[in-house]
């Protein structure tokens, strides 16, 4: 991977998004395996980024845990109060696809939760909260401190983040929360942790309550 600061923060996210978009091209069963495959690719991309993106370090704090749980409660709590994007898209329900007691369903569920917890947060937080938020303010974004509040960038970045999710309103509010955490802590790691906590708990909620529409 090249050493360009922009390339190191943008290319991994773009690759991951392209793989996500391609999921529907491989048939009903294939999209499950593409999800697992893209998670492995994402893990490799994070490994390649590790020396080029020094801010990509997890920080485990009380605030990160609290925001992660609060975002989960918000995400579930306002579900059904607004129309989702792609509401007609068939959710990924591995039990319906492979059978409730199928080991394939279990493999997918474990892989999905691990990918959403360990792979998605670093890739998305680096792109949105480290690169995009700062780049909208100044092109030499590395010289902009994380604790600088810029209202326009705060709103626009969170809106872009929100509209990459079917649950667009939850995504926007989630973006506000994670960006606030970055600004208040003057670092990225707490937001990565909060994002991971939200995704992990949401995955457990999806499986435990059969709320597959979140997937």
Q: What is the pLDDT of residue 55?
A: 98
Walk along the chain (215 residues) in steps of 10 and give the mean pLDDT of each run.
84 96 85 94 97 97 98 97 85 93 96 98 98 97 98 98 96 98 98 98 97 94
Residue 187's pLDDT is 98
> What spatial distance separates the first Cα and last Cα of the chain, rounded to whole Å?
31
CB-CB contact of 204 with 109 (8 Å): no
Quickly list DSSP for 131-200: IIHHHTT-SSGGGS-TT---HHHHHHHHHHHHTTSSSHHHHHHHHHHHHHHHHHHTSSHHHHHHHHHHHH
pTM for the structure as a whole: 0.95
Helix, strand or coil for residue 129? helix
The predicted structure's pLDDT at residue 89: 79
Helix, strand or coil, per DSSP, at residue 46: helix
Residue 25: the pLDDT is 85
């Amino acid at each position: 991977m090249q050493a360009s600061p922009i390339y190191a923060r943008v290319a991994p996210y773009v690759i991951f998004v392209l793989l996500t978009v391609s999921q529907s091209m491989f048939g009903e069963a294939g999209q499950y395996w593409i999800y697992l495959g893209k998670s492995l690719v994402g893990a490799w991309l994070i490994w390649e980024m590790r020396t080029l993106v020094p801010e990509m370090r997890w920080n485990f704090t009380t605030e990160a845990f609290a925001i992660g749980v609060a975002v989960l409660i918000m995400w579930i709590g306002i579900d059904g109060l607004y129309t989702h994007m792609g509401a007609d898209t068939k959710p990924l329900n591995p039990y319906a696809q492979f059978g409730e007691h199928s080991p394939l369903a279990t493999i997918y569920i474990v892989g999905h939760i691990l990918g959403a917890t360990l792979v998605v947060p670093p890739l998305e937080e680096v792109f949105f909260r480290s690169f995009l938020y700062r780049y909208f303010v100044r092109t030499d974004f590395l010289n902009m401190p994380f604790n600088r509040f810029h209202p326009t960038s705060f709103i626009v970045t969170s809106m872009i983040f929100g509209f990459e999710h079917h649950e667009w309103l939850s995504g926007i509010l989630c973006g506000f929360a994670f960006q606030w955490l970055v600004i208040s802590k003057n670092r990225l790691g707490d937001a990565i942790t909060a994002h991971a906590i939200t995704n992990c708990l949401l995955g457990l909620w999806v499986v435990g309550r059969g709320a597959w529409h979140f997937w």
